[in-house]
Structure 1
Amino acid sequence: MNKKLLHLYCGIDTHKRVHTAVIINCFMEKVGEFNFQNTAPSFDKMLEYVKGLESIASRDFPKENPVTCIFGLEDTNGLGRKLSMYLLDKQREVRFVNSTLSSQEAKKQTSFHKDDSYDSFCVAKVLFERLDTLPKARTKDDSLYILNQLATRRYQLMRDIISIKNQLHAQLAYHYSNYETFFCRVDMLSALEFWHKYPSPDLLNSTTPEELGEFLYIHSNRNFGIDRAQHILESVTKTGDIEKPGFELRNFLIQSYVDNLKHIAGEKAALDKKLKQIVSSLDYKLISMPGIDYVNAALLISEIGDINRFPAPENLASYSGWAPVTYSSGQKTKHFRNSRGNRQLNSIIFRIALVQIRTHSVTHKPINKRFYEYFHKRLTEGKTKKQAVACVCRKLVDVIYYMMKYKSEYRYTG
């Protein structure tokens, strides 16, 4: 007897609040549909409903071969994480259905049709047709899941900082013509304090060099003083920066940007401390490699998970999308860049690879001589820069694999 006859197939379309489940049999017949909330009591009701369908389907089979239901979810670590963990705790078989497969199944129809019920049916159909090849659902360990969320939050904060800094630049350029000469960075602590107290030049009219020098001395950890104060005041006088229309609203915007930058900087420092503690406790030594900080290490660890589930570096390269795809026909074989795999992990490795092939801004020496030479070697072989970077990424996957496999430090003597 074909083992597929002994199963029902439940495709679930997960959402933020309400999930939709469609159950089919081995003849592609829809035998049930159930909408339920994203809560544990609703999960119990859904499972009871499925058990009723299993009892009905089992009537046509011997008691020693009862019909069981297999669940298919497109998302097991996002909106469907809670449901996936619930089903696994109940000893239910759960398979991960790639959304690309269910989307392709939906497009096979001659007329366009889109609703939660149909999406669930497509997931169930893919589950039945590809049961032997679909991977079993694996939810990330809670510690790795939280680590990923912390690192992602930190990355988002950096994007927010860049956005706010660009807006601050736009407002300061309107008030201070030579504001970039005041401080080496527009967001350094002393600069932020200055912009907050003196968002426009008119507020400096009654300020003496001594007063401004003392203010800068206090807020710059004694790095700036009367000389910097005189430079600022002379620059304002020389460029003729005066009160302009709408200065009050611009002052408010500048002070608001400064407050936001201070708040985000504080949150970022707290996140960095947490990430450092968690990464250090996992005993991986990824940060010993140039270009990998605690944030990148956290993202790598959380996306890769248990390194032992990859038998060899080639498997990790394929999972991350850095193993080339082979197209072969007859005696012709070509290799193309893989556009699939884990795109988050792919992006992380790409960013790390860009650091490996850079040179120091001051000494102009390669940050990582090994990868720098390898990159330029590929260029001399006729590869484009994009292809050469892809080669660096592929070699970087090998290094990361063995560093995580044996929890070893990065060592290179050359």
Structure 2
Amino acid sequence: MTVTRMTQAVPLDQDTPDIVLGVDTHKDVHVAAVVTTAGAFVESRSFPTTADGYEQLLDWAQTLGHLSRAGVECTGSYGAALSRYLHSQGITVFEVNQPDKATRRRRGKSDIIDAEAAARAVITGRATATAKASDGPVEMLRLFKMAKASATKSRAQAINQLKAVLVATDPELRDSLAGLSNPKLIRACAGLDSSAPGTVGATTHTLKLLARRIQHLTEEIEDLSTRITDVITQHNPQLLECYGVGPDTAATLLIAAGDNPERLRSEASFAALCGVSPVEASSGKTQRRRLNRGGNRQANSALYTVVLARLRWDTRTRSYVDRRVSEGKTRREALRCLKRYVAREIHRLITLASAGPHTRLLAA
């Protein structure tokens, strides 16, 4: 289906114009719009979310002018596959936020309007964040972490359910399992005889199923933990050598940076991404900064974990906190300062790993 706004469409000049592609992404169909760098709307068309559809979208856009930039909505979900394809074809992809409510009230809402707005966001410079490449080891880590988090949550639920069943079960069975640690309790429940009739048999069968589910989920978690460690060891081993950084913490921080960390222009950009950069809150004679509540909260939590580990075991970190507290800062403010310093250190390690051997040699 092709939808073109003829009132605003412009004929192409003999010289190929520079154009920008905007895409409003959906599950089954992507709506694309092309706008010249001068701001003239050219054409809009929809394409299926298939490999052939992505090729057709790019071929169509390139027939309308010289294409080097694209603004895509939802590059981490519906637009992820399209972003990867465009990136592989040498197109710089920018992540575009959906239009705010004020703009939608003024202009209305349609897929074509959103696609055009995505292109104009790139042209005007409102969209400055380069989309994650999602085509390398960091994408592998993201998938492993997602599966591990799901398995960990399910295992915790299964353990709670097993213990809840034990609370209300027959006293004789409950007493036979009392005092066991979680691993021993799960092994004992997995070997229960569920052949008894009535509620006793139903209870033992349920305990047996829950215990075996817990064992299976534990195996999944251990396998995923090994895979996460292997990926980090292969592609960024120096991150694991950083004091207080473990495999899960390293994976979270790498996922925040993406497979193309060069998209972050500086360590300050990485700090802002992690929500550890202070936000100005000054007015008149009052000069102050407040806590940054934005950014990637998982990455922020990972930095906090690193700080807590260093605060417990590293004497230099404890001395720093004591000094900042003596200067009038609260303990929380001192920890926020530490998170900012850790973000700078992590950014350096991530960017060095993505750089070439010559760059790493010079940095060393």
TM-score, normalised by the number of residues in structure 1: 0.68
Residue 274 and residue 330 in structure 1: after superposition, are their counterparts in 2 closer, same or farther (change >3 A)? same
Pair 1:349-2:343 in alignment: no
CA contact (8 A) 1:284 1:404 kept: no
Pair 1:284-2:233 in alignment: no
In structure 2, list runs of 5 or more residues that go unmatched: 1-15, 354-364
Greater CA radius of gyration, 1 or 2? 1
Residue 115 and residue 165 in structure 1: after superposition, are their counterparts in 2 closer, same or farther (change >3 A)? farther
Pair 1:397-2:343 in alignment: yes
RMSD: 3.6
| 1:121-156 per-position Cα deviation (integer Å, ceiling 9, x unaligned) | 33223223226x624445144222112221332233
Residue 313 and residue 142 in structure 1: after superposition, are their counterparts in 2 closer, same or farther (change >3 A)? closer
Residue 95 and residue 167 in structure 1: after superposition, are their counterparts in 2 closer, same or farther (change >3 A)? same
Partner of 1:222: none
User: 2:74 is aligned with what amino acid?
Assistant: D
CA contact (8 A) 1:173 1:179 kept: no
Residue 301 and residue 6 in structure 1: after superposition, are their counterparts in 2 closer, same or farther (change >3 A)? same
User: 1:253 is aligned with what amino acid?
Assistant: T
- Tell me the distance in 2 between the aligned counterparts of 1:317 and 1:281: 25
CA contact (8 A) 2:84 2:134 kept: no
Partner of 2:180: 183
- Tell me the distance in 1 between the aligned counterparts of 2:309 and 2:149: 17
- In the TM superposition, residue 263 of structure 1 has moved relative to its aligned partner by 0.8
- Tell me the distance in 1 between the aligned counterparts of 2:210 and 2:234: 36
Partner of 1:63: none
Matched position secondary structure for 1:165: helix
Partner of 2:139: 145
Map 1:33-44 to 2 at 5 A: 33-44=44-55
Matched position secondary structure for 1:12: strand
- In the TM superposition, residue 258 of structure 1 has moved relative to its aligned partner by 1.0
Name the % identity: 22
Residue 352 and residue 161 in structure 1: after superposition, are their counterparts in 2 closer, same or farther (change >3 A)? farther
- In the TM superposition, residue 261 of structure 1 has moved relative to its aligned partner by 0.7
- In the TM superposition, residue 91 of structure 1 has moved relative to its aligned partner by 3.4
Pair 1:322-2:276 in alignment: yes
- In the TM superposition, residue 11 of structure 1 has moved relative to its aligned partner by 1.6
CA contact (8 A) 2:192 2:208 kept: no
- Tell me the distance in 2 between the aligned counterparts of 1:135 and 1:183: 53
- In the TM superposition, residue 13 of structure 1 has moved relative to its aligned partner by 1.6
- In the TM superposition, residue 284 of structure 1 has moved relative to its aligned partner by 2.1
| 1:281-323 per-position Cα deviation (integer Å, ceiling 9, x unaligned) | 2252333445432222233234335666667643432332211
CA contact (8 A) 1:290 1:367 kept: no
Residue 283 and residue 26 in structure 1: after superposition, are their counterparts in 2 closer, same or farther (change >3 A)? closer
In structure 1, list runs of 5 or more residues that go unmatched: 55-66, 204-242, 358-365, 408-414
User: 2:150 is aligned with what amino acid?
Assistant: Q
213, 228, 236: which one pairs with 1:275? 228
127, 149, 155: which one pairs with 2:149? 155
Partner of 1:96: 95
Partner of 1:62: none
Matched position secondary structure for 1:20: strand
TM-score, normalised by the number of residues in structure 2: 0.76
Partner of 1:164: 158
CA contact (8 A) 1:95 1:137 kept: yes
| 1:143-176 per-position Cα deviation (integer Å, ceiling 9, x unaligned) | 2211222133223322222222222221122225
- Tell me the distance in 2 between the aligned counterparts of 1:173 and 1:157: 24
Residue 44 and residue 270 in structure 1: after superposition, are their counterparts in 2 closer, same or farther (change >3 A)? same
- In the TM superposition, residue 335 of structure 1 has moved relative to its aligned partner by 0.7
- In the TM superposition, residue 79 of structure 1 has moved relative to its aligned partner by 3.1
- In the TM superposition, residue 271 of structure 1 has moved relative to its aligned partner by 1.5
- In the TM superposition, residue 12 of structure 1 has moved relative to its aligned partner by 0.7
Partner of 1:31: 42
- Tell me the distance in 1 between the aligned counterparts of 2:294 and 2:33: 28
CA contact (8 A) 2:130 2:263 kept: no
Residue 93 and residue 193 in structure 1: after superposition, are their counterparts in 2 closer, same or farther (change >3 A)? closer
Pair 1:121-2:116 in alignment: yes
User: 2:27 is aligned with what amino acid?
Assistant: K
- In the TM superposition, residue 77 of structure 1 has moved relative to its aligned partner by 4.5
- Tell me the distance in 2 between the aligned counterparts of 1:109 and 1:398: 38
- In the TM superposition, residue 32 of structure 1 has moved relative to its aligned partner by 2.2
- Tell me the distance in 1 between the aligned counterparts of 2:285 and 2:176: 65
Residue 109 and residue 288 in structure 1: after superposition, are their counterparts in 2 closer, same or farther (change >3 A)? closer
- In the TM superposition, residue 259 of structure 1 has moved relative to its aligned partner by 1.6
